[in-house]
Amino acid sequence: MFVRYLNNEEAYRHKFKDGYYYSGDIAYKDQEGYYWFAGRKDDVINTAGHLVGPFEVESALLEIEEIKEAAVIAAPDEILHEKIVAFIKLKPGYTYDKELELKIRVYIANKVSTIAVPHDMVVIENIPKTKSGKIMRRVLKAQYLGHDAGDLSTMEEF
């Protein structure tokens, strides 16, 4: 564990409360006593006043037979504040159509929440990831908004 944040001692001190380190991860315990990782406290989407974790929606999307990979971002929205946008990579042999879109929307509504249903879904050939496999949401967000993605040196090559 690091002993401090470079040039930010105050932020490091706030990670400790009553002798415990708070990582910023969000988890929950189910009825059977199992712990589940839900996401990062600082990585949530504020849609219509509700907080939704991208990891939670991504996990549910991956349970759908036709979907091979998924990534979720927040995009600005005048009404919702932020809207949920899902990027999905389909398994070979499947195509995205109205029937699959409806299946995804119903599944997310039932599995997660009606609030967590993506506003937009984008079918993509590859989900950009770092060389260690972490989804590069900033790249997807830049692509969605038509902005420059910036430094891509940590991105894996396809």
Domains and their CATH numbers in the chain: 1-42 (2.30.38.10), 43-158 (3.30.300.30)
pLDDT digit string (tens) for 82-105? Answer: 999 999 999 999 999 999 999 999
Q: What mean pLDDT do residues 95-120 have?
A: 97
Model pLDDT, residue 20? 80
Q: How far is CA 56 from CA 80, 109, 118, in A?
A: 19, 12, 12
Q: What mean pLDDT do residues 48-53 have?
A: 89
pLDDT digit string (tens) for 4-48? Answer: 777 777 877 777 788 787 777 777 788 999 987 766 666 788 899
Identify the residue with better confidence: 106 or 27.
106
Per-residue pLDDT band at 141 (split at 50, 70, 90): very high
| In contact, 65 and 48? CB cutoff 8 Å | no
Query: In this structure, are strands 120-123 and 81-90 parallel, antiparallel, or unpaired?
Result: parallel
Structure-block tokens of residue 2:
């690091």
Q: What mean pLDDT do residues 136-140 have?
A: 92
pLDDT digit string (tens) for 60-82? Answer: 999 999 999 999 999 999 999 99
Q: How far apart are CA 107 and CA 67, in angstroms?
A: 12
Q: How far apart are CA 48 and CA 19, in angstroms?
A: 36
Which positions ≥6 away from 148 have C-beta within 8 Å? 142
Q: What is the secondary structure of 22-77 as a DSSP string?
A: --SEEEEE-TTS-EEEEEETTS-EEETTEEE-HHHHHHHHHTSTTEEEEEEEEEEE
Model pLDDT, residue 40? 67
